[in-house]
Structure 1
Amino acid sequence: MKLLHLNMYKKINYIAAVVLLLASYSVKAQVTSQSPYSRYGLGNVKGMLLPQLRAMGGISTAVNKPSTYYSNINMQNPASYAGITMATADIGMSAGFKELKKGSLSEGSFNSSLSHIALAFPLKAGRTGLSFGLVPYTELGYEYTNTEQLDTTTVNKLYAGEGGLTKAYFGLGQQFGDHFRIGANVEYVFGNLIESRSTELQAAGVLNTKQQNKNSVGGIGFSYGAQYEIPLSVKSRITLGYSGSYKSDINTKTSFVVTRYKLNSAGEEEPALDSASFLENNSAKLKLPLVHNFGISIQKDNKWLIGADYRMGKWSQLSINGVNKGLEDSWGFSAGGQLTPDMTSIGSYFNRVDYRLGFTYDKTYIRIGNQDVKQMAVTFGLGLPLAFNRYAFHKLNFTTELGRRGTTSNGLVQENYINFHIGFTLNDTWFRRFKFD
């Protein structure tokens, strides 16, 4: 009986810790970014990927269970929830260095944030599972100035944006027969997108203007997926996958403010003198695009997995309050894999480590001056086991992304970045029965 009580207290502590983290995330977390390309659309789209999937180039559509010993949460394709066999919690954070280059100029920045909180539970182990959590959807963050000469007066045009969108999701996955799975997520998309544009004359006492647009987003979206397995042997298989998101209409409140202000003798902005225009809390609709993902993977249980994804997004459909955002349709692909030399090794810890590698390429939805903005990255990472027994499996996942977006040709900005992701995965059997002699 004492053992049972200790086990109950341990589970209660886990639940309490997760609840506190969820509350902290919703109240205090703020995503930051430094990217001029986040000005377009809704900001930089993050994708619903945990570190262990990002390390493999972001392959996810056809990934179910790389191991029979533990469960991973793959919210990018909710059909995978059907393979959850243990109570699973995944919590992580991200950090990154970014260098912006334009011509002979360059500028660096560093940002970090809490990246995800996700939980999953088997309703019927290996057949039915559910998952819920919080993940970032987009990041908005930029600030730059264009300088023009008007007769003998210097005019600065300042552009700035901040904020981002988050997804709170709840999903179910179900397996039918021995090889086919389907699943769906209900996603509450929320957050603020704040953008401003100022026109400043470089002279003290001159009246300048600033326009600020704010979208406060809060509404329901949907995503879905399916997977089909083709057995090659008892321990190896090919998995085919599809996932997508519906072109949902999300509620948003728009605000538009025009203020006038002056600069002091040091060139700093003084408090606004008045508001030339003010419109607040106008109801509108944010129309999200239809997105498709197709994937294939080949794996040998507890040994290796390789796979590839192809994706396309109808971002030309994105609009706010009926106004099209002028984006292009996007497409991209990822390839990657994972190798575990010997998951049950006793003599060598490094034989139990997951080694991951991948590559990703995208033609983004941004087109400037008749030139597509493209993005590519090499990814790699480790899955470090922390504890393992028949009832629990804990793992620390590290991922690094080395990437580039854009180019310095034709006056564009090139982003070179190094992103780091870390996630703690806890697998446990929370509701097992104990027998006493």
Structure 2
Amino acid sequence: MIKKILIAFFCVAAHGLFAQNGTISPYSYFGIGDQRDNGAVDTQMMGGLSMYGDSIHINLGNPAAYSKLRLTAYTAGLSHKEYRLKTFTEEQNTSVTNLDYLSIGFPIARNAGFGFGIMPYSSVGYTLNSIAQNSSGAEVTNFYEGSGGLNRLYASIGFEPIKNVSLGATINYNFGTLEYQRIQSVEGVQFGTLDDRESRINGYDFKYALNYTPTIKDKYTLYTSVLVNTQGNLVSKNTETLGSFSIANGNNVEVVDVNLDASNLRNTEIKIPTRTTLGLGYGEDKKWFVGAEYSFQQMSKFENAFLGLDNVTYNDASSYALGGYWVPEYRALNGYFNRVTYRAGLRYDVTGMTVNNKEINNFGITFGLGLPLGANFSNLNLGFELGRRGTTDQNLVEESYFKINLGLSLNDRWFRKVKIN
């Protein structure tokens, strides 16, 4: 019965995943939008660490961790994010709620597991206004709006060919539509101009993982991890329309399709550079764990010819994460909160994006709880993140945010031996 309920839930929730706008950040104006967190709530709340794996949770960020699965696991995640957007002169509060992932994983052999699912890859969602004066002294108003995003279907496999050494691989299929609009009006002019652009994008990338987890003194475990997310080569089919409209009533006067073939922009390639992550951790199984990760990516090689902008450049990116968990008494028979998993972490992201000659970086503090559900190893993961991105310098926007995460991880056995009397 639980499987039927879960399949129905996954189908309904997947519809919401495709329909949502996952961000309201002005920084989603750049690149392919905001690239979303690719971990489940339990790893996000440890600063986003991806090296740790166990027998009951799906690790969305590290395919080698599938080798640890001993039960079929279903997992889904939701988030709600409150923003305070601040410029040098103004301040605005807003929020967005998202479905973050839907996944299934299960063991396929001794020390081997497989999983698949869907999650957002990037999101575009912004509304911006700018007012300036032209050479004649007339006021020029530009209105910018963007929407859409890319979703990601993935399949992962992980296995342990040698004791304490796990290997894994993931194939990601990314697809979606990005839409951008710019409307300009000039004081005293009867007609305004509009520029609508759309990109339909799809393409693959791969992730490879190596985990080495030797036991120390028969009690502790050393965690080491190497992850390589290969360059994403995305194909973009583009359209653009230009037109004019009446300022008085807003009706379009004339709209024409731009001949993108003449400029070789009808079909373009977006290159997302390779990302490499190194991790090191230490802990006692089902008791405590602490770890750190470092990621780097040559964002200076990012390419998107159709949506190139003059005021943004890309430099090499890096990320730093520190986090861990603690369980007072995993097998406690009395005292529910003795079996709760307490998680916390820090993250700092050098995004590699420079806007108006200012680097755009992100800092976050994470913490959360893993709440046991019944006696079948299922749990509810609740998490929180406080963070800040951007700056008010150079007429930019500083984002302060508070994010609430809710993740459900359910476990079941698909393959039980049935005894017949």
TM bucket (normalised to shorter chain) is over 0.9
Q: 1:349 corresponds to which residue? A: 336
Amino acid aligned to 1:312: F
Out of 42, 45, 48, the position equivalent to 1:58 is 48
Question: Displacement, 1:20?
Answer: 4.4
Q: 1:254 corresponds to which residue? A: 238
1:222 aligns with 2:203: no
1:136 aligns with 2:120: yes
C-alpha contact (below 8 Å) 1:29/1:113 kept by paired residues: no
C-alpha contact (below 8 Å) 1:342/1:352 kept by paired residues: yes
Q: 1:430 corresponds to which residue? A: 414
Cα distance in 2, alignment partners of residues 10 and 163 from structure 1: 33
Cα distance in 1, alignment partners of residues 29 and 363 from structure 2: 19
Q: 1:170 corresponds to which residue? A: 155
Q: 1:33 corresponds to which residue? A: 23
C-alpha contact (below 8 Å) 1:257/1:279 kept by paired residues: no
Q: 1:47 corresponds to which residue? A: 37
What is the TM-score with the length of structure 2 in the denominator? 0.93
**Aligned residue runs from structure 1 range 319-398, under 5 A:** 319-321=303-305, 326-388=313-375, 392-398=376-382
Q: 2:281 corresponds to which residue? A: 297
Question: Displacement, 1:16?
Answer: 4.2
Distance 1:79 1:254, change over 3 A: same
Distance 1:322 1:146, change over 3 A: closer
> Secondary structure in 2 aligned to 1:18?
helix
Stretch of structure 1 that moved more, 228-237 or 133-142: 228-237
Out of 172, 176, 180, the position equivalent to 1:187 is 172
Question: Displacement, 1:166?
Answer: 1.2
**Aligned residue runs from structure 1 range 218-297, under 5 A:** 218-264=202-248, 270-279=250-259, 282-297=266-281
Distance 1:297 1:148, change over 3 A: same
Distance 1:39 1:297, change over 3 A: same
Cα distance in 2, alignment partners of residues 170 and 324 from structure 1: 32
The alignment of Structure 1 onto Structure 2 pairs a total of residues equal to: 413
Amino acid aligned to 1:245: N
Give percent identity, aligned residues only: 28
Cα distance in 2, alignment partners of residues 108 and 368 from structure 1: 22
Distance 1:409 1:278, change over 3 A: closer
Cα distance in 2, alignment partners of residues 35 and 182 from structure 1: 36
Cα distance in 2, alignment partners of residues 57 and 276 from structure 1: 48
C-alpha contact (below 8 Å) 2:228/2:276 kept by paired residues: yes
Q: Which runs of 5+ in 2 are unaligned?
A: none
C-alpha contact (below 8 Å) 2:203/2:232 kept by paired residues: no
**Aligned residue runs from structure 1 range 399-418, under 5 A:** 399-418=383-402
Q: What RMSD in Å do the two structures reach over aligned CA positions? A: 2.0
Stretch of structure 1 that moved more, 127-136 or 270-279: 270-279
Cα distance in 2, alignment partners of residues 323 and 93 from structure 1: 30
> Secondary structure in 2 aligned to 1:234?
coil
Runs ≥4 residues deviating over 6 A: 322-325
Cα distance in 2, alignment partners of residues 17 and 107 from structure 1: 35
Cα distance in 2, alignment partners of residues 75 and 223 from structure 1: 11
Question: Displacement, 1:274?
Answer: 1.4
Distance 1:19 1:101, change over 3 A: closer
C-alpha contact (below 8 Å) 2:13/2:99 kept by paired residues: no
1:210 aligns with 2:203: no
What is the TM-score with the length of structure 1 in the denominator? 0.90
Distance 1:409 1:152, change over 3 A: closer
Amino acid aligned to 1:195: Y
Question: Displacement, 1:42?
Answer: 1.1
Cα distance in 1, alignment partners of residues 34 and 334 from structure 2: 44
Q: Which runs of 5+ in 1 are unaligned?
A: 1-8
CA deviations over 1:303-324 (Å, ceiling 9, x no partner): 1111111011111222135886
Amino acid aligned to 2:384: T
CA deviations over 1:201-245 (Å, ceiling 9, x no partner): 244x71111112211112222111111112113342101101121
Q: 1:88 corresponds to which residue? A: 73
Amino acid aligned to 1:14: L
Cα distance in 1, alignment partners of residues 352 and 319 from structure 2: 11
> Secondary structure in 2 aligned to 1:80?
helix
Cα distance in 2, alignment partners of residues 49 and 13 from structure 1: 24
**Aligned residue runs from structure 1 range 44-123, under 5 A:** 44-60=34-50, 62-65=51-54, 70-123=55-108
Distance 1:34 1:323, change over 3 A: closer
